[in-house]
Amino acid sequence: MVAPVRAPRTTTSLRGTTTRASTRPPARVPGTRAAATFTPIDPKTVRIYHVTHVENLASIFGAGAILADTTGAQPEVDVSAPAAREFRRSAPVEGTDNVVADYVPFLLSTDAHVWEALRTGSPDPRLADSAATRPAADHVLFVTSIEKAVGARTEQVGAVAVTGTDVAATGSVADSAWPDVLRALQRIHRDEDGAQLASGEFLVHDALPLERVLLIAVGNDRVRDRVRAVLDTFDLRTRVAVHPPYFQPGGGAVSEG
């Protein structure tokens, strides 16, 4: 009897690239554990996403950076619920004297739960009540990479931090030293059901300068033109890209290409 041939399994990585996993187990060296089958995280290729309303762009561009809550962020349209914002002002980042509100929050995926709630108009305790009534396309996504976000601060504990769970669920963020951040990203990457990608956050201390933004993703041409007009006001040349799937229900986790 001929044994059935199994098709290779197709998976989507944290970086949005599709790979084929071999059905054969990895070769083992006698006396050692099985080698890991996952590619190490490359900070250059891992994208992260900051959500804000288009009305907040003037203050962001004027500051030359996306600011953390405690650094002076003053959104015209606040996406966050007041209770959620207050909680983050007391939630500690372990290994530092910082709290979560000292950081600019980034989603690890365009399929993140909180972003899906916003783009479907679903109530979410982390979002302001008015957020459910606004079109997703009235928001923008600042897109950058892990490498751009951390810059040369890999020796500085607390320069960045990461969590694979909702901060409100754990009450704190544990991984704030660069080696721990990389290990945590690796764990999140290996999570087969994607739950940690959908729940987690990458945090950047104080601010992310605009020169570290790779692009601003928008949902349609109208918002693209509006963003470009505000950029021109401040003589900025940040790339703006129309990518409707990011703003459609269930349309996340799409590669930039």
In sign, the C-alpha dihedral spanning 120, 124, 126, 129 is: positive
* Torsion angle of C-alpha atoms 14, 15, 20, 24, degrees rounded to 10: -50
The helix or strand, by DSSP H or E, that contains position 66, with its residue range, turns out to be strand 65-67
Long-range contacts of 117-122 (CB under 8 A, 24+ apart): 118/51, 118/79, 119/247, 119/248, 119/249, 119/251, 120/249
What are the tokens at 184?
């945590």
User: Which residues fall within 8 angstroms of residue 204, CB to CB, at 6 or more apart?
Assistant: 68, 103, 104, 106, 149, 150, 159, 160
Q: Which of 88, 126, 224, 226 is catalytic?
A: 88
- Do you know the residue count of the chain? 257
Residue 20 counted as an annotated binding residue: no
- Cβ(50)–Cβ(66) under 8 Å? yes
| Strand duo 240-242 + 215-218: pairing | parallel
Helices vs. strands in the chain: H and E counts, helices first: 8, 11
Residue 57 counted as an annotated binding residue: no
Q: Which one, of 125, 121, 118, 41, lies nearest residue 82 by Cα?
A: 125
Residue 107 counted as an annotated binding residue: no
What are the tokens at 95?
């290994």
Q: Is residue 201 annotated as part of the catalytic site, yes or no?
A: yes
Residue 50 counted as an annotated binding residue: yes
Q: Which of 201, 212, 224, 226 is catalytic?
A: 201
Q: Is residue 88 annotated as part of the catalytic site, yes or no?
A: yes
Residue 39 counted as an annotated binding residue: no
Which positions make up the binding site?
50-52, 67, 88
Active centre residues (catalytic): 88, 201
Which positions make up the binding site for NAD(+)?
50-52, 67, 88
